Structure 1
Amino acid sequence: MDFDNENHSAKLLRAQIHIFNQTFGFINSMSLKCAMDLCIPDIIYKYGQPMALSQLIASLPIQPSKATFIHRLMRILTYNGLFSQHNVTENELEVSYALTDTSRLLLKDHPFSMTSLSQIILDPFLINTWLQLSTWFTNEDTTPFHTQNGMTFWDYASHEPKFNHLFNNAMTNDTQLTSSVVIEKCKGVFEGLESLVDVGGGTGTMAN
């Protein structure tokens, strides 16, 4: 390859960065999952004000030997807009964290909480389904989920009450958020209607 061509080199580096981003993008998802597993949004919310890193670490159910890694996790989450960072001193580790509009949707008691949805999507049994995508293209299974689990998504839900409950919560919360915006911004669409059908409505939240 001719690296003397500046334009060619720039394109090559952009392509490399693109592949890096595609390859390591899962780190963002797994960091989000970790934040939910450790209840970080709820801990900061209950604190009532920006929470210092040292106070956050003291509130987390982690091994003391892992405490020094929390600031790295928070750096990823802050970069991705899940938390805002406030510098207490010039020391990089003397910072505090506050919720953003995004992380407020991860609070367990928020009426529009997206915690259930994220927990389902990031659960290993669904993550592993994506690892079967290339295999699915070579067989006659209807979905990659069936390739991984030997049954349909809905069959799995019917056999796993805990998952079914989590899934219904996820759909309900997501629908409540969406419907509230639709009703607020598009109310005129519904004027004059005498009947409304909620197709595939599950628990009927949208119809209600």
Structure 2
Amino acid sequence: MAEMGFTITELVEAQAQVWNLLLSYLKSMCLKCSLELGIADALKKQGKPMELSELSFALSIPPSKFDCFRRFMTTLVHLELFAEQQDDSGATKYILTPASYLLVKDETMNITPFLTLILDPIMCDSSHVFMPWFKSHKETPFEFYFGKGFWDFVGEKPEFSKMFNEGMASDSRLVSEVVMMNCKDVFNGLKSIVDVGGGKGSMAKSITHAFPGIKCTVFDLPHVIDSLEEDRQPGVEYVGGDMFVSVPHANAVLLKWILHDWDNEECIKILQRCKEAIPSIADGGKIIIIDIVVGASRNKHPYAVETQLLFDLLMMNITSGRERNECEWRKIFLSAGFIDYKITHFLGLRSIIELYH
């Protein structure tokens, strides 16, 4: 029997696909639980593969939960967050993977604060109201759910603001490590750079360390800059202001994961203010954008584009922004008065865009 021209086999396979979508929220919950348990930290501390009994003991898992923990780890291994290996006696032991290495809290490239931010209920809860939001006049599901825009919410909640800044800083540490290893030439020849929306200054610190001759300025909202008294890097200038009004002058402006927070018209305004702050291409001026270019990635994982699209939905959920493909980026650049750009796909799902006028 077939319905609408579909075979029974196709419909059964489709049911499996829909069930996978249905249960995908448990992937996030498994990730959250692994962070809270500190599984990656325990494996790193041990310094060698661990049997399940050793791992459960290190994490203070009671014996009554041993079989549940085994099932949990089986799923995490299937998701490639951790891996199994057999020793000479045939015993199964657990090891870190590249993914779980990023969860080790004392490592430079630890992204736990960013994951903690994205998994927080404040970031997740408004996704439950997509349907009524589509039929409302509110700008975002976040505003529909909480009664105010995301940036207003951040400004009124010091603890969440701190979590947000720490999450962004952890991402900047990873990005700066990769940029300085693989794309260092982007900064060659620059005498000064302004990190717009630079938060805690992680990118500026890395640039200053790698290029002592570049004068770095962290530019962000006044309340963000005022909160950095204990985190300031010697040799880095910190300036408070509004990127929609003006940007400090420099050879180059850095916009790391900034433009995806804003709609097209707002992006054009930001880029125009940045354009006013830098010299022309003939005098070595440029804007350095680190952001997603949808459909373009050096990451060959089959879920690369899917992840980019899911990030687009995250932006739709909490801000007026979006992730963009190259055609959409080009329209913004031309509208803002720029004449040329260069895209380098270097950072997993994100790219470096060098923009000139």
Q: CA deviation at 1:72?
A: 0.8
Give, in whole Å, the separation in 1 of the partners of 2:166 and 2:16.
38
Match of residue 100, structure 2, among 95, 100, 103: 103
Task: For residue 194 of structure 2, give the secondary structure of its aligned residue in structure 1.
Answer: coil
Please name the residue that 1:2 is paired with: 2
Question: 1:137-148, aligned counterparts within 5 Å?
Answer: 137-148=134-145
Could you say if the C-alpha distance between residues 67 and 161 of structure 1 is closer, same or farther in structure 2, counting changes exceeding 3 Å?
A: farther
TM-score by length of 2: 0.52
**CA distance change for structure 1 residues 30 and 181 in 2, over 3 Å: closer, same or farther?**
same
Q: Does the residue aligned with 1:196 lie in a helix, a strand or coil?
A: strand
Q: Select between 47-56 and 119-128 the one with higher mean Cα deviation.
A: 119-128
Indicate if the aligned counterparts of 2:82 and 2:97 stay in contact, CA closer than 8 A. yes
Larger helix percent: 1
> What displacement does 1:31 show?
0.5
Residue pair 1:86, 1:97 contacting (<8 A) in 2 also: yes
> Does structure 2 retain, via aligned residues, the 8 Å contact 1:112–1:176?
yes
C-alpha deviation, 1:116, in angstroms: 1.0
State the identity %.
38
Q: Does 1:128 align with 2:107?
A: no
Give the structure 1 partner of residue 31 of structure 2. Answer: 32
Shift of 1:161: 2.7
Query: Which residue of structure 1 aligns with residue 304 of structure 2?
Result: none
**Greater Cα offset, 74-83 or 194-203:** 194-203
Which structure 1 residue ranges, 4+ long, deviate > 6 Å from structure 2? none
TM-score (norm 1): 0.86
Residue number in structure 2 paired with 1:168: 165
User: In the TM superposition, what is the alpha-carbon distance from 1:63 to its structure 2 partner?
Assistant: 4.6
Partner of 1:178: 175
More RCO (CA 8 Å, sep 6+): 1
Letter of the 1:2 counterpart: A
Q: 3-state DSSP class of the match of 2:94?
A: strand
Please tell me whether the aligned partners of residues 38 and 61 of structure 1 are also in contact (alpha carbons under 8 angstroms).
no
Q: Answer with 11-20 or 122-131: which moved more.
A: 11-20
Query: Which residue of structure 1 lines up, in the alignment, with residue 77 of structure 2?
Result: 78
Change (3 A) 1:200 1:66: same
Q: Look up the match of 1:56.
A: 55
CA deviations 1:72-99 (Å, max 9, x no partner) are 1101111111111123566xxx522111
Provide closer, same or farther for how the CA distance between residues 62 and 162 of structure 1 changes in structure 2, counting only shifts above 3 A. farther
SS at match of 1:201: coil
Write out per-residue CA displacement over residues 99-141 of structure 1, whole angstroms, 9 at most, x where no aligned residue: 1111111011121211111111112232211111112112222
Structure 1: how far apart are the matches of 2:98 and 2:51? Answer: 19
Q: In the aligned structure 2, how far is the partner of 1:122 from the partner of 1:52?
A: 29
Unaligned ranges ≥5, structure 1: none
What is the aligned length? 203
Match among 151, 155, 159 for residue 154 of structure 1: 151
1:1-50 Cα distance to aligned partner (Å, 9 max, x none): 439x9x93443333222212211111111111111111111112111211
Hey, what's the Cα distance between the residues in 1 that align with 2:146 and 2:105?
29
Structural RMSD (CA): 2.3
Check 1:26–1:139 CA distance in 2 against 1; reply closer, same or farther (3 A cut): same
1:42 has 2:41 as partner:
yes
Specify the alignment match of 1:206 in structure 2. Answer: 203
Q: Could you say which residue in structure 2 is the equivalent of 1:18?
A: 17
CA gap 1:153/1:98 in 2 versus in 1, 3 angstroms: same
SS in 2 for 1:86: strand
| Distance in 1 of aligned mates of 2:154 and 2:63 | 38
3-state SS of paired residue (1:197): strand
